[in-house]
Amino acid sequence: MSSIETENFSQLFPLFGASSQEALSSMLSVAWHNTYPAGRAILIEDAWGNAVYFILSGWVKVRRLLTNGDFLTLAILGPGDFFGEMAILDQSPRSTDVVALCPAEVLSVPAQKFVHVLRHEPDLHYRMLQLMAQRLRLTNTRIELLHQPPAVKLAHVLVNLARRYGQHPGGNANTAVIFNVPIKDLADVANISADEAHQLLDKLVAKNWIKIDAAKQQLQILNLPQLEQLAQQAVS
């Protein structure tokens, strides 16, 4: 069982900021706390949803198995995010896998308990709808970027990861530190080739916009405003 305190949980997951302490405590009392090593599958495609998973630390990737046997990475998720809710809400088999990119601490809440809390907490219900709308908006943005230059698409992915999960050393909003996501996964999410992603990352390093620390598994964004400007340079 999980021993995480309700206050710490609501701080890490704003989704629960407006929930009653009693409801949150009830949910956490039946949650399971697990640590997954890098490369371990947390969810398997086609498995029926029996829990919602909350990322306490670490990074994961959401991927789909293609007909040719390869995997396509659809999204990268970091600390403070969650997954698995769709299979619960529409009561259907999962259509994707979720795999740990690095050691990841995950809290899993049984489906029945999560749905019960969702039904009895109107603010939580509304916040969940907001977050699902945000995810749909991100998907729509990816579609809109399909015909944009590779540099714009990769910059958009890096900026999005920095905004959602980045740490800002010294409180400097112009810099951010994120996990050093494997090039193949970055390329998949950006809808570009791995070669294009590799070349673009090298150029960003040469411009001193980013720095990659392989030993610490960190990608340091040194000039976030410049990267944001690049991400917005869409060509009509």
Where do the structural domains in the chain lie, given as residue ranges?
A: 6-143, 145-231
Per-residue pLDDT of the chain (236 residues; tens, 9 = 90+): 455 777 788 888 877 876 778 888 888 899 999 999 999 999 876 565 688 899 999 999 999 988 898 999 999 999 999 988 877 776 665 668 899 999 999 999 998 898 888 888 888 888 888 888 888 888 888 888 989 999 999 999 999 999 999 999 999 999 999 999 999 999 999 999 999 999 999 999 999 999 999 999 999 999 999 999 999 886 54
Question: Model-level pTM greater than 0.85?
Answer: yes
Overall fold of domain 145-231: Arc Repressor Mutant, subunit A (1.10.10)
6-143 folds as Jelly Rolls (2.60.120)
**Residue from 209, 71, 76, 53 nearest 142 by CA:** 76
Note whether 208 and 201 are within 8 A (CB): no
Per-residue pLDDT at 231: 93
Contact 71, 97 (CB under 8 A): yes
